Amino acid sequence: MLGNAISYTTVGIDAKPIAIECDTANGLWNVTMVGLPTGSVKESSHRVMAAIKNSGWDTPNKRYTINLAPADLKKESASLDLPIAIAILQALKELPRTQMERIGIIGELSLDGNVRPVKGVLPIAIEAKKDSLDALIVPYENAEEAAIIEGLTVIPVTSLRETANYLMGKAIIPPKTVDRESIFSVLNESPVDMADVKGQFQVKRALEVAAAGGHNILMIGPPGSGKTMLARRVPTILPELTLEEALEATKIHSVCGHSSNFVNGILTTRPFRSPHHTISDIALIGGGTFPKPGEVSLSHRGVLFLDELPEFKRTVLEVLRQPLEDGVVTISRATQSLSFPAEFNLIASMNPCPCGYYGSNIPNHACNCQWGSIVRYRTKISGPLLDRIDIHVEVPAVTYADLSSLPTGETSAQIRTRVNSARAIQRARFKTEKIFCNAQMSSKVSKKHCQLTPESHSLLQNAIDHMGYSARVFDRILKVSRTIADLEGSDNIKPEHVSEAIQYRTLDRKFWE
């Protein structure tokens, strides 16, 4: 007797359909699994047989052959436990084979037959919807995440016995539904706000420019000046997260097993990732034997914050070059090559010296670093990486007197309104260019859209000649000037726009002398 079931496995951040077949034959008890299963999938045979027995069925002495098709695709997910059990029960004539051709099944089994939640449910649900399945059976804990996909019938189950009863028509399980309007109404709600930060108006302005044009930014200042506090509030001034972007970002987090942290299984605010400086290059960029997304992909459509930038290993920082330029990470292995999206705003912070107080006027915190150590500290950041950061801004220390007297400042909603207006101008400008913000402009595109007035041209030429800026820096200043003009609704790039953009190149001035 032959049994079969439909399931899915994740490859990268996408799902692939898996056809599971089970054949039984007389002989000594043995389970053989073929079709390129990994170790975790091979081990499932003992787990599945124990779950079947503990759920009340007999497991007669037979030779069980389980095939996972397509045979040339490696399978590594424990989500195949439940469909394998269903295929075995069909082969044992415990379940009918009718009405199974259009039902997808995923779920991990415990030894007592209960169903445990699995990773990657959202991409699986998206693929099941594309395959026009009649229903998708998922673990109860994953049902909300799958039900986000409109038009897909999601059946939540808690055990193997319950799944079998549903397939035999002995149990009626209502499909899981979610109130999409209420879920999407909380998109972009955040517990933090730019109004929480007192003072630092120049830094807030630089962050607004970075958000409006999609620019990367580096903040330099002493400890306690508010760099991390400011960075954590950048997602609140970025353009609102759309439903498509939320699903796109949640797919990545779902594959990594992070979706349980989100309300109703979906990301409702732009991602904010802040890895520790001891992170490895694989953890940052992604990879492994079976490539998985790294922090740069988990930051997709959001913010990647690298605090204490010089403390990161140089080899780790250098792998950022490709995603910063292309917005995608390509991981190549002997058997496959996968690409993960990585369009994010990079926000980095650093101290001006190893002790952190060089040039600071904070009482009792005079800098005692030797000039050689300061130079070595700053040169830990390579020139090519620094060139890919459009804006450098100094974050001065704030005294108690300032904190107690300074006004609160604008809210994130007020700043976001201006950012949205600037982004709308850019969308209209680049509607035929296949880019979405000023930071993505190539040299050819910037020449077309960044026309300077004679006064602006003269000012920029003077800066290039006297400050020794490179051609790449010239490009960066031009793009930032275009964004500042967009924030003011100006078609032309005026001298004041260029002047402000030049001020955002702190690290291009030789060691801030």
- Following DSSP, what letter does each residue of 7-21 receive, concatenated? EEEEETTEEEEEEEE
- 321: tokens are 């070059």
Q: Which fold has domain 201-409?
A: Rossmann fold (3.40.50)
Q: What is the pLDDT of residues 297-329, one digit of tens each?
A: 999 999 999 999 999 999 999 999 889 988 999
**Residue 472 one-letter amino acid:** R
Are the beta carbons of 306 and 348 closer than 8 angstroms?
Answer: yes
Which helix (H) or strand (E) element contains residue 139?
A: strand 135-139
* DSSP H stretches of helix in 133-279: 143-147, 160-167, 180-185, 201-213, 227-232, 243-255
Question: Would the CA dihedral through 353, 359, 362, 366 be positive or negative?
Answer: positive
pLDDT tens-digit map of 40-94: 888 899 999 999 999 999 999 999 999 999 998 989 888 999 999 999 999 999 9
Q: CA–CA separation, 293 vs 330, rounded Å?
A: 10
Domain 2-178, CATH number (from 1.10.3080.10, 3.30.230.10, 3.30.70.100, 3.30.70.20): 3.30.230.10
Residue 361's φ and ψ, nearest 5 degrees, are -105, 25
Torsion sign across C-alpha atoms 397, 400, 403, 405: negative
Kindly list the distances between the CA atom of residue 89 and the CA atoms of 82, 95, 148, 282, in Å, as whole numbers in the listed order. Answer: 11, 6, 31, 41
Which residues lie below 8 Å from residue 210, measured CB to CB, with a gap of 6+?
216, 217, 234, 345, 347, 390, 391
354 closest CA partner among 342, 340, 337, 367: 367
Q: What's the CATH number for 441-513?
A: 1.10.8
Query: What are the C-alpha distances in Å from 2 to residues 34, 92, 107, 230?
Result: 15, 8, 21, 61
Q: Report the relative pairing of strands 2-11 and 14-26 from DSSP bridges.
A: antiparallel
d(Cα 84, Cα 448) in Å, to the nearest integer?
Answer: 59
- Closest Cα partner for 153 from 103, 115, 119? 103
Q: Give the pLDDT score at 512.
A: 42
In the chain, where the domains are located: 2-178, 201-409, 441-513
CA angle 337, 326, 418 (to 5 degrees): 140
Distance CA 500, CA 35 (A): 61
SS3 (DSSP) at 109: strand
Ranges in the chain, pLDDT < 50: 510-513
Listing DSSP states for 230-241 in one string gives HHHTGGGTSPPP
Residue in 76, 61, 70, 60 with CA at minimum distance from that of residue 20 = 70
Cα–Cα nearest to 71, from 31, 16, 136, 2: 16
Q: Which two tokens stand for residue 421?
A: 């207006």
Burial 446-456 (b: 16+ CB within 10 A, else e): beebbebeeeb
